[in-house]
């Protein structure tokens, strides 16, 4: 990770190296934090953040699921993100926003602690590699199951939930794969360690529904909409392992992963980036860079003031 100059911490800009929290912050001990990631792209009209307001709305919703009331409105959070990008003079970057119960009291109940909020930005290319964007990545079905809705709220983007994802990711990497695919407790597909998943069969797209235990993805939602705009049928529902491996194509979606083809799942090889995946990936990358009309509402300008 390449350091930048400034981080926004509780509404104030601070030097990157000074953005620190206390070792007894509640979230560090009990996982009581929620976060969001979004990307700023260098568009033809200057830097712009893709679906910023949707990300900040989800942050607030995730906080509510964990009994956390953020000290800022959605509009204030959006303004802070833009200010942080401008302060670092970046045209293209990854944005990580986190809200967490900070330092005051220890003990499982977090309610006596302040809610701290920070925004950090830095340059970050293709999450699963530039080669993966073109040729596809190798994935494996994880032995770790996605957290069940009866144990923790999987539809919240909470830091605690990613301990589960981290176990799956490390297992995949140690087995020689790029990414993990997690099943739910019913044995159906949930998501990748940090991405949603789509299959393509006979040019019909399918992705998991919210009751699969997957995080409702903003990129997933974007792809549903643009695939329909292209003219593809898009279904949502249960995806079995058999259905996944019988698909013609498969790909991951996410803020970090964008639209990343899957070329192999365990011993099932798809043969690289499929035609449908390539078409959707190309349109997605055009939209986020402001090259397609009709999607301007998804872009929030971050040009220097």
Active-site residues, by number, are 157
DSSP 225-267: HHHHHHT-EEEES---HHHHHH-SEEEEEETTTEEEEEEEETT
Largest CA distance in the chain: 56
C-alpha span between 6 and 14 (Å, rounded) = 5
DSSP E strands, the chain: 6-9, 12-15, 33-43, 46-50, 93-101, 115-122, 137-145, 179-183, 189-192, 196-201, 204-207, 233-236, 249-254, 258-265, 268-269, 299-301
C-alpha span between 236 and 252 (Å, rounded) = 15
Contact 282, 271 (CB under 8 A): no
Contact 249, 276 (CB under 8 A): yes
Alpha-carbon torsion (304, 258, 128, 187), positive or negative? positive
């Amino acid at each position: 990770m390449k350091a930048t100059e400034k981080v926004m911490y509780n509404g104030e800009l601070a030097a990157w190296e000074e953005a620190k929290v206390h070792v007894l912050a509640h979230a560090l001990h009990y996982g009581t934090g929620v976060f969001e990631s979004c990307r700023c792209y260098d568009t033809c009209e200057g830097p712009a953040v893709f679906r910023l307001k949707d990300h900040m709305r989800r942050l607030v919703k995730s906080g509510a699921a964990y009994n956390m009331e953020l000290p800022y409105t959605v509009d204030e959070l959006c303004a802070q993100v833009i200010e942080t990008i401008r302060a670092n003079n970046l045209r293209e970057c990854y944005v990580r926003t986190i809200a967490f119960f900070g330092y005051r009291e220890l003990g499982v109940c977090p309610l006596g602690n302040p809610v701290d909020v920070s925004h950090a930005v830095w340059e970050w290319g293709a999450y699963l590699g530039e080669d993966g964007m073109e040729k596809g990545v190798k994935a494996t079905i994880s032995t770790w199951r996605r957290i069940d809705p009866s144990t923790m709220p999987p539809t919240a983007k909470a830091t605690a939930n990613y301990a589960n994802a981290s176990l799956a990711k490390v297992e995949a990497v140690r087995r020689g794969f790029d990414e993990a695919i997690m099943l739910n407790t019913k044995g159906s597909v949930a998501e990748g360690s940090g991405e949603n998943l789509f299959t393509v069969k006979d040019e019909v797209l399918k992705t998991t529904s919210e009751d699969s235990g997957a995080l409702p993805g903003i990129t997933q939602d974007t792809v549903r909409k643009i695939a329909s705009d292209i003219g593809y049928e898009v279904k949502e529902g249960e995806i079995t392992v058999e259905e996944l491996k019988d698909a013609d194509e498969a790909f991951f979606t996410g803020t970090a992963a964008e639209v990343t083809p899957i070329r192999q799942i365990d011993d099932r090889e798809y043969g690289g980036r499929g035609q449908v995946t390539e078409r959707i990936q190309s349109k997605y990358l055009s939209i986020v860079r402001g090259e397609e009309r009709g999607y301007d509402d998804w872009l929030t300008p971050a040009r220097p003031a």
